[in-house]
Chains A and B, each alone.
Chain A
Amino acid sequence: MISLLEVSGVSKTFDGFRAINNLSIQINEPELRAIIGPNGAGKTTFMDIVTGKTRPDTGQVLWGERNESLTGLSEAEIANRGIGRKFQKPTVFENQTVRQNLAMALKNPRGPLAVLFFKEPRTDADRISDIAGEIGLADQLARPAGELSHGQKQWLEIGMLLAQDPRLLLVDEPAAGMTAEEREKTTDILKRAARTRAVVVVEHDMEFVRRLNCKVTVLHEGHVLAEGSLDHVTADPTVIDVYLGRSDA
């Protein structure tokens, strides 16, 4: 197990609002990690900073064995380093088929000219059907993604992440709007992915986090409030105070 991502002392202020306040998180490879916290705790901003959408005011984001700094890189460069991101709302390309969606995500040259003259190698078709099987969409490959159900779209997006073959998956509320059965399947997909990769799941839903059965980081007002097993953090009085107390109410 090695340290894959190291966020240290990161702060970000938006118009006077401290979204992230001296945040430090370390993610190993492989690892499954859940990040929880009330609204405005900085979960999404944390993801924005890691994926290059937002530049932090201070602090460092270091990546991989060579401790490369990610803070100056563009979204595309960071994605190509091996960080995949799933958005809260399922964002698949609805006009295109499931196969096209997965093909776009597959690890291949990303430059315009390489793409223009791209010829799909035979192994790609196998990769696509493997991933489609993994996310339970094997018989849906020819369908436009817009026709899929909400849960299927979420899985397709996770599938696109897997197709990128990233070392780190950042998954924002994967279970939102899912039925109990769909949640179970989502948990399985994420757990399997976390055997070989680092998977960070941002979640609101405690029941879902319990099922993931992993190390939990609690964020509050832009910094880490507690870290450890779910039982450990839920027993922490400060956590009960700011988070659990409120969500129960």
Chain B
Amino acid sequence: MTQGFIIHNRSVMWFIGLLGLFTLLVTLGSEAMGTGVISTSLVKTLGKTLCLCLIAIAMDVVWGYCGILSLGHFAFFGIGGYAIGMWLMYARTETIVTESLARQVIPPTPAEVTDAIGAQIFGVVGSSDFPLIWSFADSLILQLLMVVLVPGLLALVFGWLAFRSRVTGVYLSILTQAMTLALSLYLFQNDSGLRGNNGLSGLQNIPGFESTPQATISLVFFWGSALALGLGYLLFAFVVGGKMGSIVQGIRDNEARVRFLGYRVEGYKLFVFTLTAVVSGIAGALYYPQAGIINPAEIAPIASIYLAVWVAIGGRGRLYGAVIGAALVSLLSSWFTGGGAPDVNLGFYTVQWTDWWLVLLGVSFVCVTLFAPKGIGGLFDYLIRKPR
């Protein structure tokens, strides 16, 4: 079935092909392969970009296809990052602590080891006790499960409450925004159990692979991100491709009509909202080990708004549009704000892109919305003749 499905969706075939080619080129050019055309930090940036593309297609499904303008999907992304970050930090600190305690004359008790790990991790927030939410931090499997379960359950409960009460449109957007803001503000507190505004750091060091160079680790994560994006793309193309896609787009265009056809709209919205939240969590879990650090600022409302901007610029309602938007805008953003773009001297004023990038982004967003509502992806409609 899957094979026929790919062949019947030419855009899916193209996407998977191009993604594979891109992965191959980056691999060949990476430092890990000895060529070094592409620096390790660039490999990381590209890997992170793939993760952003993954959350962007999730956003496209929930907004572009189902019409739910969620301004909170980055919360799920962040939760995924925190979940994997907890294990990364715990396991790495455990290695360090065990090594240093091993030099003592009397072997340390397990309780002493745990205390020492706690003091290491929570010293910055003036604590040394493990909060309850770290109960499973020593188990990679359980934390990986958290990557999926926590965003999924949060989305399920939040969505159930919101959709059941028939909250729609801008009110729902505000609610989702409030959700991510509340989560972010909570995490900023030192007693939240996740190191307050320090967040979790050192995530690029993978426990058990201390002697592996970052060049190799970054490449492996790049592969992981590419694989996740490919699988995510296939999954969502399958979801929005068949009859499900019909119903979901029907809900976007006329919710009441779908109800009178006998479909329980709430169930569909909940399904889409939760599924995309889970994929966002996975994207976050792949992103933050490449970023090396996660802190509550990452899930501030602005991040989720950017996500909507990417999808709008790339083109709503087509998966490749979301990928184009996320890749283009996030890469341009790091180029402009990272000092890559040369300042423009106008004589009377010097345009510094670190300050003016947001203005440029805002203007392009307004222009796309006004003049090209289909986004960049809409250009493909002109290139490809519609089969009649």
B261 near A104 (CB under 8 angstroms)? yes
Docked complex Cα distance between A194 and B267 (Å)? 33
| A242 close to B (CB within 8 Å) | no
The verdict on B20 contacting chain A, using a C-beta distance below 8 Å, is no
- Nearest chain A residue, comparing its CB with the CB of B262: A79
Interface segment out of the listed A86-94, A184-192, A207-215: A86-94
Nearest residue (CB) in A for B253 is A93
| Bound CA–CA A116/B1 (angstroms) | 13
The 8 Å CB contact of A110, one of B254, B263, B271, is: B263
The verdict on B216 contacting chain A, using a C-beta distance below 8 Å, is: no
Q: Which of B51-59, B99-107, B239-247 contacts A (4 or more CB under 8 A)?
A: B239-247
Is B250 part of the binding interface, using a Cβ–Cβ cutoff of 8 Å?
Answer: yes
Q: How far is the CB of A90 from chain B (nearest CB, A)?
A: 10
The complex places the Cα of A214 from the Cα of B256 at a distance, in Å, of 30
Known: A112-B267, A112-B271. A96 touches B246 (CB 8 A): yes
Cβ-defined contact, B259 with A116, below 8 A:
no
Partner among A53, A87, A104, A164 whose Cβ is within 8 Å of the Cβ of B243 = A104
What per-residue 1/0 map shows which CB atoms of A56-88 lie under 8 Å from chain B? 000000000000000000111001100011010
A160 near B: Cβ within 8 Å? yes
Measured in the bound complex, the distance between the Cα atoms of B254 and A112 in whole Å is: 17
Give, as a whole number of angstroms, the nearest-CB distance from B335 to chain A.
Answer: 36
Q: Does B264 contact A (CB under 8 A)?
A: yes
**A76 with B243, Cβ < 8 A, contacts A93-B257, A95-B249 known:** no
Please tell me if the beta carbons of A116 and B262 are within 8 angstroms of each other in the complex: no
Selected contact of A84 from candidates B242, B256, B259, B260, CB within 8 Å: B260
Q: A75 with B249: in contact, given A93-B254, A118-B242 (CB under 8 Å)?
A: no
Given known A91-B257, A94-B253, A96-B250, contact A118–B243 (CB-CB < 8 A): yes
| B257 closest partner in A (C-beta) | A91
In the complex, what residues of A have CB within 8 A of residue B243's CB? Answer: 103-104, 115, 118, 120
A94-B253, A112-B271 given; A104·B260 CB < 8 A: no
Best-surrounded residue of A51, A79, A80 (most CB of chain B within 10 A): A79
Instruction: Point out the residues of chain A lying under 8 angstroms from B217, CB to CB.
Output: none
Q: Is A121 interfacial (CB-CB < 8 Å)?
A: no
Determine whether the beta carbon of B267 is less than 8 Å from that of A75: no
Contacts of A94 in B (CB 8 A): 253
A79 and B260 contact, CB distance less than 8 A: yes
Q: Mask for A119-144, Cβ within 8 A of B = 1, else 0?
A: 01000000000000000000000100
Which residues of chain A come closer than 8 Å to B244, judged between CB atoms?
Answer: 112, 115-116, 118
Q: Does B268 contact A (CB under 8 A)?
A: yes
Say which residue of A75, A76, A91, A103 sits within 8 Å of B246 (CB atoms). A103
Quote the shortest CB–CB distance from A9 to chain B (angstroms).
Answer: 25
Give the interface size class of chain A. 20 to 34
Measured between C-beta atoms, what is the minimum distance from B289 to chain A in Å? 31
CB neighbours of B259 from chain A (8 A): 74-76, 79
Establish whether residues B253 and A51, one from each chain, have CB atoms under 8 Å apart when the complex forms: no
Q: How far is the CB of A168 from chain B (nearest CB, A)?
A: 12
Q: Which residues of B contact A229 (CB under 8 A)?
A: none
Q: Is B265 an interface residue (CB 8 A)?
A: yes
A163 to chain B: closest CB distance in Å?
9
Are B257 and A110 in contact (CB-based, < 8 A)?
Answer: no
A41 → B minimal CB distance (Å)? 22
List of B residues within 8 angstroms of A116 by Cβ: 239, 242, 244, 271
Contact between chains at A110 and B242 (CB < 8 Å): no
Encoded as 1 (CB less than 8 Å from any B CB) or 0, chain A from 30 to 65 comes to: 000000000000000000000101000000000000
The CA-CA distance from A105 to B258 in the complex, in Å, is: 9
Q: Please give the distance in Å from B181's CB to the nearest CB on chain A.
A: 29
Q: How far is the CA of A105 from the CA of B257 in the complex (A)?
A: 10
Chain A residues with CB below 8 A from B246, complex form: 93, 96, 100, 103-104
Instruction: Name the one of A100, A110, A118 contacting B264, with C-beta atoms under 8 angstroms.
Output: A110
Q: Bound complex: CA of A84 vs CA of B261, how far in Å?
A: 7
Q: Which residues of B are found within 8 Å of A16, using beta-carbon distances? A: none
Instruction: Name the one of A91, A100, A112, A164 contacting B262, with C-beta atoms under 8 angstroms.
Output: A164
A85 to B260, CA, bound (A): 7
Chain A residues with Cβ under 8 A from B242's Cβ? 116, 118
The minimal Cβ–Cβ distance linking A197 to chain B, given in whole angstroms, is: 16
Residue of A nearest to B263 (CB): A110
CA distance A104 to B262 in the complex (A): 10
CB atoms of B265 and A76 under 8 A apart: yes
- Known contacts A93-B254, A115-B243; decide if A110 and B249 are in contact (CB<8 Å): no
Residues from chain A with a CB closer than 8 A to the CB of B262 are: 76, 79-80, 110, 164
Q: Shortest CB–CB separation between residue A238 and chain B, in angstroms?
A: 34
Q: Which residues of A contact B253 (CB under 8 A)?
A: 93-95
CB–CB B250/A104 < 8 A:
yes
Specify which of A53, A87, A105, A115 lies most central, judged by the most chain B CB atoms within 10 Å of its CB: A115
B249 close to A112 (CB less than 8 A): no
Contact A104 B247 (CB under 8 A): yes
A94–B250 CA distance with the chains assembled, in angstroms: 9
Cα–Cα distance between A76 and B269 once the two chains are bound (Å): 14
**For the complex, what is the distance from the CA of A21 to the CA of B271, rounded to whole Å?**
40
Measured between beta carbons, the chain A residues less than 8 angstroms from B388 are 142
Q: Give me 9 A-to-B residue pairs in the complex whose CB atoms sit less than 8 angstroms apart, sorted by A's number.
A: A79-B259, A79-B262, A91-B254, A94-B253, A103-B243, A104-B243, A115-B244, A116-B271, A120-B243
16 A-B pairs besides A104-B247, A116-B242, A142-B388 with CB distance below 8 A are A74-B259, A75-B259, A76-B263, A80-B262, A87-B257, A91-B254, A93-B249, A93-B250, A93-B253, A95-B253, A96-B249, A100-B246, A104-B246, A104-B250, A115-B244, A116-B271
B residues sitting closer than 8 Å to A (CB atoms) are 239, 242-244, 246-247, 249-250, 253-254, 256-265, 267-268, 271, 388
What 8 A-B pairs come out closest when comparing CB atoms? Answer: A79-B262, A75-B259, A80-B262, A112-B271, A76-B264, A118-B243, A116-B244, A91-B257
